[in-house]
């Protein structure tokens, strides 16, 4: 059973949100208390209640990171990748703090929607989806998704014609990432015009571009190269007479 660590004065609103029912709140009396301190306290004071593994979530860290984001990147909307940690309490905290969500599957979408999050705060960031998954997104009102192939355009046109698209591109520069997720999906530079035209011909609106340089990247300049590549997507769309794009999804790293 998860045990939540929090400072009451900071997160009253969070604990009224969905995702916290049945969870235990441990209020820290000292800002110097650490996760280790709390865990040891739980073990020592309530041994009879602990008959299985438990987790501790320090919401102070979540709040601090969101505050830092808002302060330093006020015009950039954060979309939390649910696959990083789908803990329902964490998702509930992020939702109450105003985060949006990057979901890669119907299960992840369902988890976020169960918290009362509006579907317009979700991007279905999987460029290769099955027919049933596209139908599910349409049925729950998740109307933005990624693509990187003509085949995906054809499926979306058939099963979710009101969906807006974000073109996933493949970064050209090696990020030195420990996990090269950027290589798994994404259109090559020379494929961009064909894909944009395919979407436009299908009557689907492309509203942006996305990429992922991989996780634990060592080369921060890879972002520069990927953003410049994304710029060419915006320019190509403009040259094709397509509506102005509004989203640049820079993934993780």
Q: Which residue ranges form the domains of the chain, and what is each CATH number?
A: 3-58 (no CATH), 125-249 (3.20.20.10)
Query: Which among 217, 246, 210, 221 has a CA at the least distance from the CA of 81?
Result: 210
For 57-75, what is the mean pLDDT?
89
The per-residue pLDDT for 21 is 64
DSSP code per residue over 54-93 = --EEEHHHHHHHHHHHHHH-TTS--EEEGGG---HHHHHH
Please report which confidence band the pLDDT of residue 7 belongs to, taking 50, 70 and 90 as the band edges: very low
For 61-79, what is the mean pLDDT?
91
The per-residue pLDDT for 168 is 97
Residue 21 and residue 4 in contact, taking contact as beta carbons nearer than 8 Å = no
Report the percentage of the chain scoring pLDDT > 90: 57
The per-residue pLDDT for 120 is 98
Please report which confidence band the pLDDT of residue 24 belongs to, taking 50, 70 and 90 as the band edges: low
The per-residue pLDDT for 111 is 95
**Alpha carbons 6 and 29: distance in angstroms, whole number:** 10
The per-residue pLDDT for 59 is 81
Cα distances from 130 to residues 113, 155, 210, 212, 252, in angstroms, run: 20, 8, 20, 21, 24
Over the stretch 197-249, which tens digit does the pLDDT of each residue have?
A: 999 999 999 999 999 887 666 677 788 889 999 999 999 999 999 999 999 99
Residue 178 and residue 140 in contact, taking contact as beta carbons nearer than 8 Å = no
Q: Which residue has the tokens 């997160």?
A: 11
The per-residue pLDDT for 164 is 99
For 81-105, what is the mean pLDDT?
93
Phi–psi pair at 77, nearest 5 degrees = -85, 125
More confident residue, 246 or 32: 246
């Amino acid at each position: 059973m998860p045990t939540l660590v929090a400072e009451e004065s900071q997160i009253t609103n969070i604990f009224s949100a969905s995702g916290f029912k049945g969870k235990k709140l441990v209020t820290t009396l000292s800002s110097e208390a650490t996760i280790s301190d709390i865990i040891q306290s739980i073990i020592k004071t309530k041994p009879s209640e602990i008959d299985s593994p438990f987790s501790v979530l320090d919401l102070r860290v979540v709040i601090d990171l969101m505050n830092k984001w808002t302060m330093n990147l006020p015009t950039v909307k954060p979309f939390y990748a649910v696959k990083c940690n789908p803990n329902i309490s964490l998702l509930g905290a992020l939702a109450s703090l105003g985060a949006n969500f990057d979901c890669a599957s119907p299960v992840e979408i369902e988890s976020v929607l169960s918290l009362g999050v509006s579907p317009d705060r979700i991007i279905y960031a999987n460029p290769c989806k099955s027919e049933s998954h596209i139908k599910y997104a349409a049925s729950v009102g998740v109307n933005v998704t990624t693509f990187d192939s003509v085949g995906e355009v054809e499926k979306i046109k058939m099963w979710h014609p009101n969906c807006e698209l974000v073109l996933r591109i493949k970064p050209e520069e090696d990020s030195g990432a420990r996990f090269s997720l950027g290589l798994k999906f994404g259109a090559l530079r020379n494929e961009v015009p064909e894909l944009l035209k395919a979407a436009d011909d299908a009557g689907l609106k492309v509203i942006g571009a996305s990429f992922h340089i991989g996780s634990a990247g060592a080369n921060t300049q890879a972002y520069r190269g990927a953003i410049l590549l994304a710029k060419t997507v915006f320019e190509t769309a403009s040259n094709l007479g397509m509506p102005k794009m509004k989203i640049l999804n820079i993934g993780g790293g």
